[in-house]
Structure 1
Amino acid sequence: MKSRTIYALLLTFALAAPAHSNPTPNPLAVPKDDANTPGAGPISGGKMFNSLWFRLRKSWATRVEQDKGAITFLGDSITMGWSPSFRGAFKGYKTANRGISADTSRGALYRMDGDVLALDPAAIVILIGVNDLGRDTEPEIVAGNVKLMLDKIKAHNDKTPVILCYIMPSAPNRNVPKEKAQKLNNMYAGFAKKYPQVTTLDTWTLFADENGGPKKGILKDGIHPNSKGYFLWRGALLNKFAELKLEKIQPAKKPKQ
């Protein structure tokens, strides 16, 4: 409830205040003040990213009530790649996609309250960190940001299930060090022991070959899943949904004739 109220105020500010009349930073925009931004490590920037971030968050701010109670996915371009409708992958479940291409763990942490917790989600699926590692960010920094996310979720509702997905393997030319990815995944595994509401999904093993690289035919460009890759991820997630006993949407009853 608190997160929804805060987000409603942010939306009112963002939509009502002309950008040229108020020097206060727009709360839906990419944060510029590093000292007052929670977490550590990089936040993406640049004209295209800033525009995408603001456009998506402004759109989502208008859907808070509509998306309330959804299984909410938080992440970067791999999550965004599901598309807003998830292409029917989770038929029967209410879902909301809060992935932003090129986002980092610190960016996702910044968005947690408004984009995710404001929905009072039925569950949260997190896949984040590959963009951090691709920028030489140490796994400890990424894990620290994810821990802050989990603390926020716990404070909001300590019963909300969290599915924390492991970093997936990627091609060597993507400059995501395998050793750092595996170290970060081990840290993610530790969170499941510290937070009872957290369960991990081993998307590393799901996508990795015997050498720790991506299996053939499941990535379209060395880092993003193709349709086969998303199908694999979908199956693993559906198993988790069943384990967690997440409820499907009840179809509306037809009126009696």
Structure 2
Amino acid sequence: MKFRHSTALLLSTLAAAAATAATPAPTLPLYVGQALPGAHIKFGDFDVQHTLEGDSGRMNDDAKQPNALVDVHRTNKDGTGDALGFSWKNAWFSTVRVESAPVDLRPYLAKGTVSFDLKVNELAKGGLNYRIDCGQGCERKVTDVIPARAAQGKGWRHLSYALSCFHHQGDDFSAVTKPFALDGTGEGDVEIANIRIDAVGKPTETCPDYRTASVTPSPLNESWSLDWWMPRHEEKLAEIARRKAAGEPTELVFIGDSITHNWEQHNKPLWDEFWGKYHALNLGYGGDRTENVLWRLQHGEIDGIAPKVAVMMIGTNNTGFRMEEPQLLYAGIKRDIHEIQKHLPHTKILLLAIFPRAEKADDAQRMNNEKVNALLPKLADGKRVFFLNINKAFLAPDGTLSKDIMPDLLHPNGDGYKIWQREMQPTLDKLMH
């Protein structure tokens, strides 16, 4: 009888919880004149955050970025103190966010929206991300750079996104403690008000489909890339045209992100020493993800050359920027391989495993990349596409990554590039001949 009573009580509790989850409050006011009851406002940069106490607060005490400044203050939209002013500079990342007791956002997913009013005062050198956490160590964001810059000086505007923009299959929305964040890049000055989640809403803004982002060609439109990314692309096209006109062969091409880019940018003597004899072309772009490489390949960056070998390593920014699932990242790399083959049908492709990142082997981003690396051999046919994993050469026996090789635990220094060349050269020699 006691067991039956306990079972009945459990079923009753579950039924009540299901009913509550099925009928959410029509509106969840995250910051409408004031923060959600029990919530507070946090602000700062990547390493240092403070709680907003009173009407204003300032973060300028980050020892890692001594010149960084993040300022948050209550300002006015429809009434006194009903909005938040947010300005930042000299910080590569800054944030103002709502933190609360665990909130169940699952009932809002089907038709829900997250909306807010935004006023852009200054953003010529900055950009925005809107972010919602999605479980332990999980966050999803939507980027707003070009439209936000275009809104500078035009007053308040209302933005509404489908809540599904911030949710991937498998994400846990059952107990969200950071239901909204406004992140700034570069430098800027904005105001935000009326942050809310509605159970039923009509989005005014669109967002990329996370399931196809890695295979949808796109330039890299980040606040920190707009000044140089497209000019670099134009410079590479001009260099290819120059080589063609001069009859100068390009026997080797490297395609990738900042790990490849920095070899040419910060270690030029080593680049010339190792690859000058091949008239190598560096097509690495800092920050690039698979979809950015795809755009470049489709817009002439490997047209007009006929290299013997194309070395490609890409993907760590897919993981770092949007925590992309291994299968989706794999699809992006596969799509890039196919695009190279279409433009360079006689070139052999040497696909490298994504290099290790972070100090420990159990770091979430490194583990995600290793799951991708485990899939990549399927792309190699041993005839036109070859796969090489040299990651162990960068690591200690226990799997740790040293700052003596990658000072920021992501990008190689000179010693790291020497390891890359040493480990890759035997395979490259075979493919070149």
Of the structure 1 ranges 229-238 and 61-70, higher mean CA displacement relative to structure 2 is found in: 61-70
Tell which structure's C-alpha radius of gyration is larger: 2
| Distance across 2 between alignment mates of 1:59 and 1:95 | 15
Alignment of 1:169 onto 2:356: yes
Which residue does the alignment assign to 1:82?
A: 263
Q: In the TM superposition, what is the alpha-carbon distance from 1:182 to its structure 2 partner?
A: 0.9
| Preserved CA contact (<8 Å) 2:312 2:350 | yes
Q: In the TM superposition, what is the alpha-carbon distance from 1:107 to its structure 2 partner?
A: 0.6
Which residue does the alignment assign to 2:236?
A: 60
| Preserved CA contact (<8 Å) 2:312 2:352 | yes
| Distance across 2 between alignment mates of 1:37 and 1:140 | 12
Which residue does the alignment assign to 1:50?
A: 226
Per the alignment, do residues 83 and 124 of structure 1 end up closer, same or farther by CA in structure 2, a change over 3 Å counting?
same
| Distance across 1 between alignment mates of 2:342 and 2:320 | 31
With a CA cutoff of 8 Å and minimum separation of 6, indicate the structure with the bigger relative contact order. Answer: 1
Which residue does the alignment assign to 1:155?
A: 342
Which residue does the alignment assign to 1:19?
A: none
Q: In the TM superposition, what is the alpha-carbon distance from 1:38 to its structure 2 partner?
A: 7.9
The AA in structure 2 aligned to 1:62 is: A
The AA in structure 2 aligned to 1:108 is: V
Which residue does the alignment assign to 2:166?
A: none
Which residue does the alignment assign to 1:131?
A: 317
| Preserved CA contact (<8 Å) 1:67 1:95 | no
C-alpha distance after superposition, 1:4-29 (max 9, x if no partner) = xxxxxxxxxxxxxxxxxxxxxxxxxx
| Distance across 1 between alignment mates of 2:301 and 2:345 | 18
Per the alignment, do residues 145 and 226 of structure 1 end up closer, same or farther by CA in structure 2, a change over 3 Å counting?
same
Q: In the TM superposition, what is the alpha-carbon distance from 1:40 to its structure 2 partner?
A: 4.5
| Distance across 1 between alignment mates of 2:316 and 2:218 | 12
Give ranges in structure 2 of 5+ residues lacking alignment: 1-206
Which residue does the alignment assign to 1:101?
A: 286
| Preserved CA contact (<8 Å) 1:123 1:160 | yes
| Distance across 2 between alignment mates of 1:67 and 1:222 | 36
| Preserved CA contact (<8 Å) 2:308 2:432 | no
Alignment of 1:112 onto 2:297: yes
Q: Give the match's secondary structure for 1:115.
A: coil
| Distance across 2 between alignment mates of 1:176 and 1:50 | 29
TM-score (norm 2): 0.45
The AA in structure 2 aligned to 1:97 is: N
Q: In the TM superposition, what is the alpha-carbon distance from 1:169 to its structure 2 partner?
A: 1.1
Q: In the TM superposition, what is the alpha-carbon distance from 1:200 to its structure 2 partner?
A: 1.5
TM-score (norm 1): 0.73
Of the structure 1 ranges 103-112 and 86-95, higher mean CA displacement relative to structure 2 is found in: 86-95
* Structure (1 or 2) with the greater helix fraction: 1
Q: Give the match's secondary structure for 2:380.
A: helix
Residue of 176, 179, 185 corresponding to 2:373: 185
Which residue does the alignment assign to 1:18?
A: none
Residue of 308, 317, 321 corresponding to 1:122: 308
| Distance across 1 between alignment mates of 2:342 and 2:235 | 26
| Distance across 2 between alignment mates of 1:131 and 1:166 | 14
Which residue does the alignment assign to 1:143?
A: 330
| Distance across 1 between alignment mates of 2:326 and 2:394 | 20
| Distance across 2 between alignment mates of 1:162 and 1:149 | 11
Per the alignment, do residues 100 and 216 of structure 1 end up closer, same or farther by CA in structure 2, a change over 3 Å counting?
closer
The number of residue pairs the alignment matches comes to 213
Give ranges in structure 1 of 5+ residues lacking alignment: 1-32, 247-257
| Distance across 2 between alignment mates of 1:38 and 1:203 | 24
Q: In the TM superposition, what is the alpha-carbon distance from 1:130 to its structure 2 partner?
A: 0.6
| Preserved CA contact (<8 Å) 1:73 1:98 | yes
| Distance across 2 between alignment mates of 1:124 and 1:148 | 15
| Distance across 1 between alignment mates of 2:295 and 2:213 | 7
| Preserved CA contact (<8 Å) 2:319 2:368 | yes
| Preserved CA contact (<8 Å) 1:42 1:104 | no
Q: In the TM superposition, what is the alpha-carbon distance from 1:118 to its structure 2 partner?
A: 4.0
Q: Give the match's secondary structure for 1:162.
A: strand
Q: Give the match's secondary structure for 1:140.
A: helix
Per the alignment, do residues 38 and 209 of structure 1 end up closer, same or farther by CA in structure 2, a change over 3 Å counting?
closer
Per the alignment, do residues 141 and 226 of structure 1 end up closer, same or farther by CA in structure 2, a change over 3 Å counting?
same
CA RMSD of aligned residues (A): 2.9
